[in-house]
Structure 1
Amino acid sequence: MNSHLKRVVAIGGAALLLASLAGCGTANRNAAPGPTELSDEPVTLRMAWWGGDGRHERTQQVIDLFEEKYPNITVEPEFSDWAGYWEKLATSTAGKNSPDVIQMDQLYLASYGARGALADLNELGVDTSGMEPSVRDMGLYDDTLYAAPISTSITAMLVNSDLLDQVGVPVPDNADSWTWDEYSDWGAAVTAASPPGTYGASIPFTEYQLQLFVRQHGEELFDSEGVAVSPQVLEEFFQNSLDLVEAGAAAPASVWAETAGLPLDQTPMAVGTVASFPNTATLISAYSGASGANLELLPLPATEDGVEDFEYAKPGMYWSISSQSEHPIEAAALVNFFLNDEEAAKILGAERGLPANADALDAIYDQLTPQEQAVVAYTESRQPFFGDAPDIVPNGASNIQEIIQRYQQEVLFGQTTPADAAKNMIAELQQSIDAA
């Protein structure tokens, strides 16, 4: 493992708004301090996360290891799929029955932090010293560390090398620095050489991808007041997607609408009907496994004459501790174990993404697959283009992913113009933020 790995920002992977929390305080901010040392008495903690069977099995193995080290602490697991998880968490938190340890997402961190539902991890002694400061600080809300990153992600263009070989259109020589216009031209060439129903390019569609596009233009999506992006840059984002479709590089609106919400193994990238797809770099393993194809990672296209240091590493998910917990010190010990224990890291591997903790990443590096090691190398290659991390999604904007896709669809179907979509999306988001 090379000497730069310690500096690598490690990699990670439409939900319900927290309506049931609105207007209700979930914690007493003036409560007396709790215990500062681990209890010798029997303690039961509830730990909640979302994910598939593989995540459940690995997480339970680490819980078993933790309980061996702390025999007086019993950990009760609670897990579900993504949508069900947030509905259940919102209900339990509003009912003063939140799990002690919570797997948290960037879309919801501000919403829970603003309502006092999360504990200050620094006060509880959660050790985040193994993380890059820019990554750790994306767990801050209102200058308080309410969440500790488990893993981080970087977006890349996933490219199906086998499909390109079949149609005889190689990756451009300048793909490490291509522009959106060059990407469109290449995508159209791939489409023209491919069987009907197969396309060369895909449109950007996630909050993370929008953040990167906005940063390429020297702006930010959010700031402390709410929406920060200008209508002109957001209009260009929608226009860029429309241009990709109209050029024949990307699939038409009807195909995009039908496939946007499909499970991973049914998406165009997984079934081999698109040659390139922007997404989290660590998903290369999942898409390669589903498609049976060789995939490679390329940078996202950039804006011509735009800002170079637009990239950043985004936490894939976090661990948080409920402010309602009756055993916060024990909960902190559990979070510390998941974040920093070497044996725990080896059990968890890269299932949640590559660890945000550099020491944990070192511990598992040799057991990573060649594709996962390629993600580490890719991230290193993009570090010269890393800028400061952006503000997290503010309270009131947790449903931004749903909003982006709704306006994207309206533009692609010709129901609204990119300019009107930009203006209306900014107004909708700001109104929701102001009302939160």
Structure 2
Amino acid sequence: MGRWMRMIGMLCLMLTLPGCVNQLDQRPGMIVEEEPITLRIAWWGGEFRNNATIAVINLYEKLNPHVNIEYEYSSFNEYWRKLAPHAAGNALPDIIQMDISYLSQYSSLQLLEDMTPYMLSGLIDTTDIEKEQLESGSLNGKTYGLSLGVNAMLSIYDPEVLKANDIELPTDTWTWADFDRMGEQLLGKGIYLGTYFTPEQFFAYYLRQYGSKLYAEDGKRLGYEDDGLFIEYFGRMQQLAEKKLIFAPDIWTSDIGQPDNDPFYLGEALFSWGYSNQFISTAQRYGKPLTISPMPGPNSQDGLFLKPGMFFSMAGNSRHKEEAAKFISFFVNDLDANLLLKGERGVPVSSSVKERMKLVVEPELAQVFDYIDWVADNSTQMDPPDPVGAPEVTAVLRELYDLLLFGKITPEQAAVEFRERANGILGGKL
């Protein structure tokens, strides 16, 4: 019981995620219950994802008039803050959008339903989903999340902005050394080299480039032994911030989330970084053609991997598990639903849906499909889901990263402190 309460306390301290939603869920051809069914569903996301998801919910309700779906959504951090008290009270929405960094945490507290029986029975149709994607949401032989799309890390740029600053366009084999040289060409121009690198994501990529991982296989400690990798990566980030070539944290005190205030959308930053599912909304906001490039090498094929964009999980406390399973199956397997979603959560996991969508998608989405196909041939296997305690480790890394970018701590000091605090969390000493 003590461990349960401790883990619930950890959940309540997590960063926040957006949204929850409720609605009734049933599929054509299924036996309709005598009483109408209401499902609750929650997700995080931006405006495009929210509108697209609501459109899919409306479509589902139209096809299944006995089902009502109530929904709620918010930003990533706000979402997890809102979800934590529901978890503590064992009152989660029937369907929750789940991130890989939280999958171990929530499943270890027995808050999530094992979806394997629903897949075996066919309520969740996995006929056209590759085994690797199904296993991405599995822990200890149980499936706690179904991937909603396939993503990969990427660089996004406007070729015209690079040309205007006499910068050569990146190739599939560009490197961190090329990245540094681009920065040197921008000094004194008032142009950022790129936007903010989320530390836990891009440091993990950097570690993979050199044969290491952020977490050990047993999840009880960090997965790399050479602090030189930490010092090298974050030393580069600190130097770029000092030269005003990447954003320092204080820029986020402004309303930079709006295109009118974000240097990338103003043509004042060469690159934006993230995952491939973000490309469509970025291109729509930008309003002009954008191009995808891989992350810098060397050894980008070792650093890159195909990642589930996010999952849908079913709450263990749900009173309508079969109906929740039917909605999830519809979400990933219905062509019309995925045409509405436009791959915003990732390239569809259903191979048949993906192939049919290729025939009708717009150029931006076609570019994402092509990039994912390229990554599939130029990447290695994804790391296992983050261990219990990963959200706390992430909070520590972000705290130290901010201090680094403000010049309040050296990379050497940060490396020592991160290892001590992270291993304490993962080993259960803190």
Distance 1:179 1:142, change over 3 A: same
Q: Distance in 1 between matches of 2:327 and 2:104?
A: 23
Picking from 335, 353, 356, the partner of 1:360 is 353
Q: Which residue of 1 aligns with 2:281?
A: 286
Q: Which residue of 2 aligns with 1:259?
A: 251
Q: Distance in 1 between matches of 2:332 and 2:269?
A: 37
SS in 1 for 2:174: coil
Query: Once the 2 structures are TM-superposed, how far is the Cα of residue 274 of structure 1 from its aligned partner?
Result: 1.2
Deviation string for 1:364-402 (max 9, x for gaps)? 333422122112112222223211110112111124544
Q: Distance in 2 between matches of 1:150 and 1:428?
A: 33
Aligned: 1:46 with 2:40:
yes
Q: Which residue of 1 aligns with 2:26?
A: none
Contact 1:187–1:201, Cα closer than 8 Å, also in 2: no
Distance 1:17 1:258, change over 3 A: farther
Picking from 190, 215, 240, the partner of 1:197 is 190
Q: Which residue of 2 aligns with 1:170?
A: 168
Give the number of the structure with larger relative contact order, counting CA–CA contacts within 8 Å between residues 6 or more apart: 1
Q: Distance in 2 between matches of 1:129 and 1:206?
A: 37
Contact 1:201–1:275, Cα closer than 8 Å, also in 2: yes
- Where does structure 2 lack aligned partners over 5 or more consecutive residues? 1-8, 15-29
Aligned: 1:372 with 2:365:
yes
Picking from 46, 54, 76, the partner of 1:82 is 76
TM-score (norm 2): 0.83
Runs of 4+ in structure 1 over 4 Å off? none
Q: Distance in 1 between matches of 2:91 and 2:266?
A: 42
Q: Which residue of 2 aligns with 1:98?
A: 92
Which amino acid letter does the alignment assign opposite residue 112 of structure 1?
Y
SS in 2 for 1:178: coil
Q: Which residue of 1 aligns with 2:54?
A: 60
Contact 1:264–1:287, Cα closer than 8 Å, also in 2: no
Q: Distance in 2 between matches of 1:417 and 1:44?
A: 53
Picking from 402, 419, 427, the partner of 2:412 is 419
SS in 2 for 1:218: coil
Contact 1:272–1:291, Cα closer than 8 Å, also in 2: no
Q: Which residue of 2 aligns with 1:155?
A: 153
- Where does structure 1 lack aligned partners over 5 or more consecutive residues? 1-15, 22-36
Deviation string for 1:323-360 (max 9, x for gaps)? 11112111111111111122222232233333222222
Query: Once the 2 structures are TM-superposed, how far is the Cα of residue 257 of structure 1 from its aligned partner?
Result: 1.6
Contact 2:392–2:425, Cα closer than 8 Å, also in 1: no
Aligned: 1:185 with 2:181:
yes
Deviation string for 1:247-306 (max 9, x for gaps)? x4823xxx4222357316233222221112322234333333434443222221114xx5
Distance 1:260 1:354, change over 3 A: farther
Query: Once the 2 structures are TM-superposed, how far is the Cα of residue 243 of structure 1 from its aligned partner?
Result: 4.3
Query: Once the 2 structures are TM-superposed, how far is the Cα of residue 164 of structure 1 from its aligned partner?
Result: 1.7
List aligned pairs for 1:396-407, cutoff 5 A: 396-407=389-400
Which amino acid letter does the alignment assign opposite residue 64 of structure 1?
N
Contact 1:121–1:321, Cα closer than 8 Å, also in 2: yes
Q: Which residue of 1 aligns with 2:207?
A: 214
Q: Which residue of 2 aligns with 1:13?
A: none
Contact 2:118–2:325, Cα closer than 8 Å, also in 1: yes
Q: Which residue of 2 aligns with 1:124?
A: 118
SS in 2 for 1:366: coil
Greater displacement, 327-336 / 343-352: 343-352
SS in 2 for 1:268: coil
Q: Which residue of 2 aligns with 1:302?
A: 297
Q: Which residue of 2 aligns with 1:27?
A: none
Contact 2:138–2:144, Cα closer than 8 Å, also in 1: yes
Q: Distance in 2 between matches of 1:307 and 1:178?
A: 9
Picking from 128, 140, 147, the partner of 1:142 is 140
Contact 2:283–2:364, Cα closer than 8 Å, also in 1: no
Distance 1:52 1:225, change over 3 A: closer
Q: Which residue of 1 aligns with 2:228?
A: 232
Contact 1:217–1:307, Cα closer than 8 Å, also in 2: no
Contact 1:159–1:275, Cα closer than 8 Å, also in 2: yes
Which amino acid letter does the alignment assign opposite residue 410 of structure 1?
L
Q: Distance in 2 between matches of 1:249 and 1:298?
A: 23
SS in 1 for 2:311: strand
Which amino acid letter does the alignment assign opposite residue 315 of structure 2?
S
Which amino acid letter does the alignment assign opposite residue 139 of structure 1?
G
Which amino acid letter does the alignment assign opposite residue 258 of structure 1?
D
SS in 2 for 1:407: helix
Q: Which residue of 1 aligns with 2:3?
A: none
Distance 1:258 1:20, change over 3 A: closer
Q: Which residue of 1 aligns with 2:316?
A: 323
Deviation string for 1:115-139 (max 9, x for gaps)? 0000011122233343333333221
Contact 2:12–2:81, Cα closer than 8 Å, also in 1: no
Q: Distance in 2 between matches of 1:202 and 1:66?
A: 38
Q: Distance in 1 between matches of 2:198 and 2:76?
A: 19
Aligned: 1:269 with 2:267:
no
Picking from 340, 343, 361, the partner of 2:333 is 340
Greater displacement, 293-302 / 323-332: 293-302
Contact 2:39–2:67, Cα closer than 8 Å, also in 1: yes
Q: Distance in 2 between matches of 1:74 and 1:290?
A: 32
Q: Which residue of 2 aligns with 1:12?
A: none
